Structure 1
Amino acid sequence: MNSPQTSEMASPDIDELMSLLNRLLENVATVVLGKPEVIKLAVVALLAEGHVLIEDVPGVGKTLLARALAASIDCSFRRVQFTPDLLPSDIIGSSVYNAASGEFVFKPGPIFANVILADEINRTTPRTQSALLEAMSDTQVSVEGKTYTLEPPFIVLATQNPYEFEGTYVLPESQLDRFMIRLRMGYPVRSEERRVLSTHRSGEPVETLRPVLMAEDVLHLQRAVRNVRVDDAIAEYLLDIVHATRKGEDLHVGVSTRGALTLYRAAQSLAFVSGRGYVVPDDVKFLAVPVLAHRVVGKSFLQAGEFGAAEAIIRDLVDRLRVPS
């Protein structure tokens, strides 16, 4: 494996950080073709220390996006195929008896990795789904009274098919709330799909992808994101959107304080990914749907749990609010 290019300095300056960021974006884009916005949102979540839920029909690149992101960073990666018979211990780990020592020894599960692909997360039971809650919110897991810390960086990229309901379990609001961003891949345009056919003639391009960042580089980028400036007027605009969801006539449940904080951090990350050291209103506006739509519940039966309806409601709320100058 080729060694990824990294800075020799303990704390890279802003130019070096932007160079690292651009290498990451460009590397993922070599295999995830024609999806710059989707790639950007996934990287935004990574740098904001969040998680991503990718929804769409099978075969449009959900798993490919997760694999490409993991392959671009020199860190540990685990893929967990969620099935109805999967147990929480299959994800977190369990204690096994060591005959030589006569003691029980904890054997870590796949959750002890930097990048986790939770494939078809809605195909396992709520009990197993909930095993991810503590890890996603606190970057730690508790097993038999002991707490184990997960090594940073840590991101869960989960996939699900929203159009197939047989043998699936709908993710509860508490689980959805742990995801920073919910997005759709969408079908590629014809020209990009033609490129996909060409690039896959000799195999999977993601298999040849090499890391361009170390895990340490990601931590530097995450720290830089936290220093992105958010003006008071932008913070007030963000809260205007959040409070509008709580008063919306079409919504039964609005965005929580955790949702507001998540939007704040995502906006900082998007500003940084866009090459700025400050957040602008368009950052908040652009992220409102992917960050907030899965955190609200519509009042009507057709809107409850329907992502498309929630998207439309959030978009309408944002369009009606005054944008700060």
Structure 2
Amino acid sequence: MALLLVSGAATLFLLAVRRPQPVWVVSAEFAGPWRGVLAAADDAPDWPVIELHEEAFESGSARQHYGLLVTAESTVGSNGNDEPHPLVVHHHLARRAAPDGTIALALDPWLVFRRHTTEQLTYAALGGDQQPAPPERGGVLLLPGSDQRALRAWTAQLLQEAPGRFSDDIERWDAVRDRLTRGGRFQRGALTYGWEDIWPRLFGPEPAWIYAPLSRVQELPGDRTSVLEADRFPIPDHWNEYGVQARILWAKPFGMQRLRSGSRSDQDLARASEWLRSAEVQTAIAAGLRWVPAHGQARPVNPLAAAARRTWFGSSYVWEDTTRETGK
């Protein structure tokens, strides 16, 4: 009898060990804010947080767990023209659910920032990919040229040939990026500027514009951000729709194939996904990151985020730059 009891206990122990456990798997850069959101919410799923480094969730760990992967690495979408440039385009993301249960939680959009007293930047002031034009009525376009992401963001805008469709000529991408700072479009010595060098020029005496991600500007003190306006990037007059570049924070279910439909684990995962879709939770997530909540009823953290939210919901498409590269 003793042997039977020990054997039975061992069997139960093995079943407990082998049963997948629910977890949040969160990219390391978001793990701190994510824990803050979970701690502040009384109804948050009480799952442990596993920090994800280098976007590699080990297969052994994956077999032991199910849950939601929280990452800004693109998980859904399609390239606008099926070419190998690093852009992933999402159409009508603000109004259409992503496939496979993936949830868009928050966005960090690229916008054109200017002081209240500076006029809005026009498309004519940009010039084409061949011949830049100086901004109208003086002023300067600012570029932190030491950040490759900023160079790629400008290159993508100049090579957007139709709404949501970008040039498929990779050699042209390289050529436009290489000559981006020639011809006087940006401040002198643009390639030597980092983000910390840009801000004095933006708040200097001359009119200035900077194309930047919202999160970069949100790092500035409140007395600086309070005098700024945020606009979408100018588009040609004959376009009747526009898009924005953004980083997107996604939540993607994983391990579902191991869950029996209708089981307790399956229901737990469904409840967690529904929790993430709520306006209240996405408000908290975006506030922690100082990004824009994806939910239409969520509250932006400040006026700049509110302007970014209006731009996001007015857009027909969003694109991500999927290049893995650390900027300065």
Q: TM-score, normalised by structure 1?
A: 0.26
Q: TM-score, normalised by structure 2?
A: 0.26
Larger relative contact order (CA 8 Å, sep ≥ 6): 2
Q: Which has the higher strand share?
A: 2
Structure number, greater radius of gyration: 2
Q: Which has the higher helix share?
A: 1
